[in-house]
Structures are given as structure tokens and as C-alpha cells.
Structure 1
Amino acid sequence: MQFDSLDDIRAFCRDVPKGDVRFAEAAVRRQQNLTKPPGSLGRLEELAIWLAQWQGRESPRLDRVTITVFAGNHGVAARGVSAYPPEVTAQMVANFAAGGAAINQIARLAGADLRVVPIELDRPTRDFTMATAMDADDFLNAVEIGYRAVPEDCDLLAVGEMGIANTTSAAMLCAALIGGGAARWAGRGTGVDDEGLARKRAAIDAALDYHRGILLDPLAVAAALGGRELAGIAGAVLAARRHGIPVLLDGFVATSAVLPLAHLDAGALDHCRAGHVSAESGHRDLLRELGLAPLLDLDMRLGEASGAGLAILLMRAALACHAGMATFAEAGVCGADD
């Protein structure tokens, strides 16, 4: 799939493949016959049914699980909106490669293949308070990189990011597409002090004023006010939808990256689940706006797909119960109607 224009993405989102409800119904029937009271495993049951629907299999599996972390740099960082300098993005990418980050440990524990995709770290986006962060071609290129980063034979994809100042871009997208201004969406990110938070909110409000003419166009907003790693995540989520791969979203930044897709089509994120709700201001509200209930709530705010990575362990538990439990007939146990 190649997106040559923003209209190509719009057309894709108007005609996204649907999950196969026949396999979801088969999974429901199996859950009803397992040795437990109906519904007693709560959301674990729903997760197994969701996997079956989106994988298109009566017996879903998690043999090939991928965690993809996209990295990008942001021009708005020059406004002092982060507690760390932009050089940290590349330094953390090197740390991922060396196996020294939290996500390396989580991926290993979760049995997932970790892929890190830096996108032009030596060329930050433009400062969106005075220009478009990306032009259409730059945005489309990042979307394409994300799309092509997803292996077609993947059973489950978890997406996350790394990018100094990207919580500012995430809050920017939310303020532009949902409303409420910087006061509603801008949090402390990497741990900025009160002055840093004030600079962050001022940058967002200034950009809202500067770009007020495009705020009704979700993709124009994604290009003008987002970042390359956010566009990469959006591309990966589109690829997953094309290939029938269920997706776990990480925190505030990763979720904001797919907000424009949800504004293009109400069902564009049906193949996604929120791996967790982060401690970053605004994430819980954003999940509520998207109708996504988080799987975990651990006060995490690291990014780098760490929360989504942990949720893979929950998915494995859901699948283990779904596939491994005996039915009432197999176990010789009387059912509720016996």
C-alpha cells in the first residue's frame, strides 16, 4: 500500500477491512463452554474474543508478537517544553539497540520482537508555533515508513514512541481535534517544572491561533502539528488494519497519534486496544473520548511502548485460558444447566 496523497489515507479510512464476526462468535461459544461461570474471567474473555475476530481465526494465537517503537525529533523542543535536550532521542535509540532500556526487558519477558524505527532524527520537524511541523510529503513519507515497518504475519502489534518534546505535540493534536486548549491537555511530560509547563501551554495556545484555519481537517492537523514518529505510528496502525493484526496502543503520545484516524472514521480503531492509561495528564481523558478502556493502570509515563508491552502479558494470559482450559464436557464437570 502506498499513500501518495492525504486523500489516499482518507479513502483508506472510509473503507477499512472489518474484523470477521464469525470467529468472534465461535470464540464466544467456546468461552460459554469452558469450566467457569459465564463471564467470570471478565475482560480476559473479551480479549480472547477480540483476538479471534481480528486475526480471523477460531483459535487465535500469539506466536509472532511485535513491539515497534518509532522515534522522531521536534522543532518545538527549542521552546523549552521538555526537561531533556533533543539529543536524548538519539541517545535513547542507541540504548534500545544496546538492550539497556525498560522496553528491552519488557519485550524479552513478553516474548516479543522489538523493532526500533528512528525517522530522520537529524532533521527535527519545524517549530509548529510559527510554521507547519511537516508538509504533506514529509508527513506521507513518515506514514509510509510506519506502514512498511509492520510484518504482515504478525499476530499482535504493540506501538510506542521516543521523542523529546513529543508530549507537547500529543497535547497539541488533542487540543486541535478535541478542543479545550492547552490547559486541558498539556501535562508535565518528562517532568518539567512550573515554568516549563507554562512554556509548553503557551506554545500550544500560540500554535492553535496560528493554525486555526486547518483545525477541521484531521490529516492537515496531523501534519502541521504532529511529529514523524506520531505519523509512523498512524501508518503502522493502518497497516495492521489492512493485514488483520490486532494492536495495543501505548500511552498518551501513541494514542494521540491515531486520534486523526478516529476523526476520519468512527471505526478506524476497532482493531486497537489501549494497553494502559499513563500518568501523563490528558491520557485518561483522551481514552474516554475515543471509547478505549485501558487494560492496565500502573501510573506509568515512560513511553517507549512500555505499558503496551506489559499488556502483552495480559493478552497471553487471556489466550492461555481461552485455548488451554477444558470445556465442561472434556472435564466431566456439570454445567449450570445440568
Structure 2
Amino acid sequence: MSDDAPVKADLDEIRGLLSVMPKADEAARDAARAREGQLTKPPGALGRLETLAEWVATWQGRTPPRIERPRVAVFAGNHGVAYKGVSAYPIAVTAQMVANFQAGGAAVNQLCAANDAELRVYEMALDHPTADFTDGPAMTEEECATAMAYGMMAVEEGIDILCLGEMGIGNSTSAAALAHALFGGKAQDWTGPGTGVTGSTMELKIQVVDEAVTRHLPEMTDSFDALRRLGGHELAAIAGAILAARVGRVPVILDGYACTAAASILYRADPHALDHCIVGHLSAEPSHRRLCEAIGKQPLLDFGMRLGEGSGAAVALGIVKSAVACHSGMATFAEAGVSDKD
């Protein structure tokens, strides 16, 4: 979302998309299961690779599934709450990292190249951070809806799997506030070090999350309103991209804590809204495990990563591509002339 972006939307219209989301393609799922049972291997021998291939087939609506045009979409936004001093880095780092992405110098650039994925970086009005949500809502309804609509634009025709990531100084504070508001508990249950804060800065971060949720929770009408009050432009865009991917039958790989928090907005509105999504990796951010459990997702990888920028999702993409390659490329017992079990 550039400063002069013409994208506009209504939050109620976006809420309405939940009622028209496509369901799982049961025919494609059943065909994938049938093919899996005929491949030259013992049943279940490839473990989760088999269920991943079935998941891709189910949500692409085709068997065998294909991954020919994967996209990694990284949304970047700035947060007014960052001026409270809740991060180890200044807000200027967001724009600097966007420039690094564009120059090809970030980790996600290398991971996209390794997995033959297209990287798209979306700047979300970096010169206009969200409002400090300890003082009032982070965004107006129009701002939130516009950011969600902008995120939907990442799902272009021909994309067959979408990896989502974010960049934004202060967004782990926003993610913690969202998780706390959506799933209860205490502020410290959901607040982690983010970019590496400790000591008094960590205490301040927990206090900010607690103050924000205490302020807004009594007036929240639903999870979309929670996003408007406590989220950020890039987190709203991620939620919008997830919705558009569902409508377009594009499977989604989520990145770490902030990305999962953005997705949780949709889960709280409809527990089936994330059926087309997997969590690519378990972030080292301590609350990510709790959040994944809350939305019923088992992260694919656990490498101790906490970088953000879609890096964990991009690594997971390689595993998903491997699953699809095995499912689609292996010979059946009949094709290979190999005797099946009696």
C-alpha cells in the first residue's frame, strides 16, 4: 500500500467473504488418497509428506497437485506503538530492510532463489505508521479494510501456493496484543522478546500489551475489530491475502508469530477459515507454540528461527514441494511392475 494507493474497501464486505469461502474439494482429496495408496512404497512410509501432498491437492482442487508458480509475499508496515520503545531497533529499520529485500540481500531472497519461488515485497505506507494503540485504535475501519484489500492483490491468477511473511518494527508487540485479546490469558503469556528485548524493555513491552488490551477489549465487537484496534497495516494485509487465497483455491504457508497472529483473526471469526493454511515453522518466539495450539495447527518445521520476513515459510515451501514431487512423480505399483502387498 503506497501512500497514494487507490485501493479502498469496506470492512463489512470483507467480513462477508467468510460466508462464501470454498470448502475442501473432497473429490480431489479422495483421488489423492487413492493415488497415494498405489505408489511404490509401503502405506504411510512417507509420513507427513503424504498428508502435505493431499492437503495441496485438496485446496488446489486437482490431482495430482502441482507447484509451478509459488509466491512468497512479504508485507511491510510501521507501528505507532514502536515509538514507546518496545523494540530493540528503531522504526527506520523497516524501510531499510525493504530496500535490502529489493536489493536481494536478505535471507528470504536466498531462500526464494533456492526454492525457485517468486518474491514480492509490499510496502504498506511506511511513512504513515498506525496510531499508537495504547492511545486509541491503531487504524480506522477504512484503513484496516483498505490494507486487507491491498493484501488480497497478492493472490494473482496462476499462483499455485502462497507463502506469507511480514516486516515491521513493533509488530511482535501488535501480535502479542492481538493474541491476548483473541485468546485470553495474561499479557506475559503472549509477549516475547521479538527482536531481542530483555530486562526493563521487556517489562515495558508486557505493560504496553496489557494496557492496550485492557483499553480496547470492552469495546471490541469481533476479531476484525480487534485487528483494527490492535493490528497493523501489514498484519491486515496478511489476513486479506489469506482470504483471497481461499477464494482462489490457493494453499497458504504461514510464517512465524506475527503472521500467525494475523491469521488468527480469521480463525476466531470462523474455525474453518484457515483450513487451506499450514504453519511453516515454529518460531523461537515463546508464544508461537501457544498460538499454534490455540488455532489447531502443527508447525511443519522447528529450526529455532525467529527472523520473520517469510523466511520460515520459504524453508517449509521446499518440504511441501518435495511432498508434491513424490506424490505426482512416483510410479504406481502397476506402472513399475512391482508386486503390491497381498
Larger displacement relative to structure 2 (258-267 or 166-175): 258-267
The Cα shift of 1:26 comes to 0.5
SS at match of 2:122: strand
The reply on whether 1:86 has 2:91 as its aligned counterpart is yes
Task: Indicate the residue corresponding to 2:50 in structure 1.
Answer: 45
SS at match of 2:309: coil
Letter in 1 for 2:264: L
Q: Deviations over 1:277-299 (max 9, x none)?
A: 10002101101111111110000
Task: Indicate the residue corresponding to 2:337 in structure 1.
Answer: 332
Task: Indicate the residue corresponding to 1:242 in structure 2.
Answer: 247
Q: Which residue of 269, 273, 276 corresponds with 1:264?
A: 269
Cα distance in 1 for residues equivalent to 2:219 and 2:328: 49
* Paired residues of 2:245 and 2:252 also in contact (CA < 8 A): yes
Task: Indicate the residue corresponding to 1:141 in structure 2.
Answer: 146
Q: Deviations over 1:272-329 (max 9, x none)?
A: 0011110002101101111111110000000000000001100111011111111111
Task: Indicate the residue corresponding to 2:307 in structure 1.
Answer: 302
Task: Indicate the residue corresponding to 2:207 in structure 1.
Answer: 202
Q: Which residue of 291, 295, 308 corresponds with 1:290?
A: 295
The Cα shift of 1:19 comes to 2.3
Cα distance in 2 for residues equivalent to 1:243 and 1:75: 33
Cα distance in 2 for residues equivalent to 1:263 and 1:12: 14
Task: Indicate the residue corresponding to 2:33 in structure 1.
Answer: 28
Q: What TM-score does the superposition give when structure 2 sets the normalisation length?
A: 0.96
The reply on whether 1:159 has 2:160 as its aligned counterpart is no
Task: Indicate the residue corresponding to 1:59 in structure 2.
Answer: 64
Q: What TM-score does the superposition give when structure 1 sets the normalisation length?
A: 0.97
SS at match of 1:262: helix
The Cα shift of 1:182 comes to 1.2
Divergent runs of 4+, >6 A? none
The Cα shift of 1:188 comes to 0.2
The Cα shift of 1:216 comes to 4.8
Give me the CA root mean square deviation: 1.1
Q: How does 1:177-188 map to 2 (within 5 A)?
A: 177-188=182-193
Cα distance in 2 for residues equivalent to 1:293 and 1:228: 27
Cα distance in 2 for residues equivalent to 1:274 and 1:90: 26
Cα distance in 2 for residues equivalent to 1:3 and 1:295: 35
Cα distance in 1 for residues equivalent to 2:9 and 2:150: 13
Cα distance in 1 for residues equivalent to 2:220 and 2:70: 36
The Cα shift of 1:214 comes to 2.7
Task: Indicate the residue corresponding to 2:4 in structure 1.
Answer: none
Q: Deviations over 1:96-125 (max 9, x none)?
A: 000000000000001100000010000010
SS at match of 2:46: coil
Cα distance in 2 for residues equivalent to 1:239 and 1:315: 21
Task: Indicate the residue corresponding to 2:19 in structure 1.
Answer: 14
Letter in 2 for 1:153: G
Letter in 1 for 2:68: D
Cα distance in 2 for residues equivalent to 1:72 and 1:243: 25
Cα distance in 2 for residues equivalent to 1:209 and 1:273: 31
Cα distance in 2 for residues equivalent to 1:209 and 1:59: 49
Q: Which residue of 166, 174, 199 corresponds with 1:169?
A: 174
Q: Deviations over 1:62-89 (max 9, x none)?
A: 1100000000000000111100000000
Cα distance in 2 for residues equivalent to 1:21 and 1:87: 47
Letter in 2 for 1:30: R
SS at match of 1:300: coil
Cα distance in 2 for residues equivalent to 1:214 and 1:118: 30
Cα distance in 2 for residues equivalent to 1:212 and 1:156: 35
* Paired residues of 1:70 and 1:161 also in contact (CA < 8 A): yes
Cα distance in 1 for residues equivalent to 2:254 and 2:157: 18
SS at match of 1:157: strand
Q: Deviations over 1:204-238 (max 9, x none)?
A: 11111211223451111100100000001011111
Give the number of equivalent residue pairs.
336
* Paired residues of 2:11 and 2:144 also in contact (CA < 8 A): no
The reply on whether 1:225 has 2:230 as its aligned counterpart is yes
Give ranges in structure 2 of 5+ residues lacking alignment. Answer: 1-6
Letter in 2 for 1:55: Q
Cα distance in 1 for residues equivalent to 2:52 and 2:283: 20
Larger displacement relative to structure 2 (163-172 or 14-23): 14-23
The reply on whether 1:105 has 2:110 as its aligned counterpart is yes
Task: Indicate the residue corresponding to 1:193 in structure 2.
Answer: 198
The Cα shift of 1:181 comes to 2.2
* Paired residues of 2:130 and 2:233 also in contact (CA < 8 A): yes
The Cα shift of 1:3 comes to 7.4
The reply on whether 1:316 has 2:333 as its aligned counterpart is no
